[in-house]
Structure 1
Amino acid sequence: MKPQHYAVIDFETTGLSPAHGARPTEIAVVLVRGGEIVDRFQSLMNPGVRIPWDIQQFTGITDAMVRRAPPVREVMAEAVRVADGQPIVAHNAAFDRKFWEYEARDLPGGRESRFLCSLLLARRLFPGVANHKLATLVSALGLPSSGRYHRALADAECTAHLFIRLQEEVARVFGVEGCDCGLLERMQRANKRQLGKCVEGWLGDCK
Structure 2
Amino acid sequence: MSDANNIVIFDFETTGLSPKMGDRAIEIGAVRIKNGLVVERFQALMHPGMRVNSFIENFTGISNEMLAEAQPCAVVMDNFCDFIDSDNLVAHNASFDKSFLDAELQRISRHYSGQISCSMLLARRILRDAPNHKLGTLVDYLNIQSEGGYHRALFDSEMTAQVWLAMITKIQHHYKIPTVSFALLQKLCKTPASAVHRLLSNWQ
Question: Structure 1: how far apart are the matches of 2:2 and 2:90?
Answer: 18
Query: Match of 2:114, as an amino acid?
Result: S
User: Which residue in the other structure is 2:3 paired with?
Assistant: 3
Whole-angstrom distance in 1 between the partners of 2:201 and 2:2: 19
Per-residue CA distance 1:153-193 (angstroms, 9 max, x = gap): 11000001111111111111222222211101000110112
Counterpart of 2:144 in 1: which secondary structure?
coil
Letter in 2 for 1:3: D
Q: 1:195 to 1:60 in 2, by over 3 A?
A: same
Once the two structures are TM-superposed, the CA of residue 111 in structure 1 deviates from its matched residue by 4.3
Residues 72-91 of structure 1: pairs in structure 2 closer than 5 A: 72-91=73-92
Partner of 1:50: 51
Measured in 1, the distance between the counterparts of 2:77 and 2:199 equals 35
Counterpart mapping for 1:61-80 below 5 A: 61-80=62-81
Q: What aligned pairs does 1:103-118 form with structure 2 within 5 A after superposition? A: 103-105=104-106, 106-108=108-110, 110-118=111-119
Q: Which runs of structure 2 are paired with 1:8-27 in the superposition (5 Å)?
A: 8-27=9-28
SS at structure 1 position matched to 2:71: coil
Aligned pair count reads 202
Q: Contact 1:46 / 1:69 at 8 angstroms: preserved in 2?
A: yes
Name which structure has the greater RCO, CA cutoff 8 Å, separation 6+: 2
Residues of 1 paired with 2:65 and 2:178: CA distance?
47
Structure 2 residue runs without a partner (length 5+)? none
CA distance in 2, matches of 1:52, 1:155: 21
Question: In structure 2, how many angstroms separate the alpha carbons of the residues matched to 1:94 and 1:26?
Answer: 17
Q: Distance in 1 between matches of 2:123 and 2:201?
A: 20
Q: CA deviation at 1:145?
A: 1.4
- Normalising by structure 2, what TM-score? 0.93
RMSD: 1.6
Q: 1:54 to 1:85 in 2, by over 3 A?
A: same
Query: Given the alignment of the two structures, is residue 39 of structure 1 paired with residue 40 of structure 2, yes or no?
Result: yes
Asked whether the 8 Å contact 1:143–1:161 carries over to 2, the reply is yes
TM-score (norm 1): 0.92
Matched residue type, 2:89: I
Aligned residues of 1:17 and 1:99 also touching (Cα < 8 A): yes
- How far apart in 2 are the matches of 1:22 and 1:133? 23
Distance 2:61 2:140 in 1: 22
CA–CA separation in structure 2 for the residues paired with 1:78 and 1:177: 35
| 1:182 paired to 2:151 | no
SS at structure 1 position matched to 2:38: strand
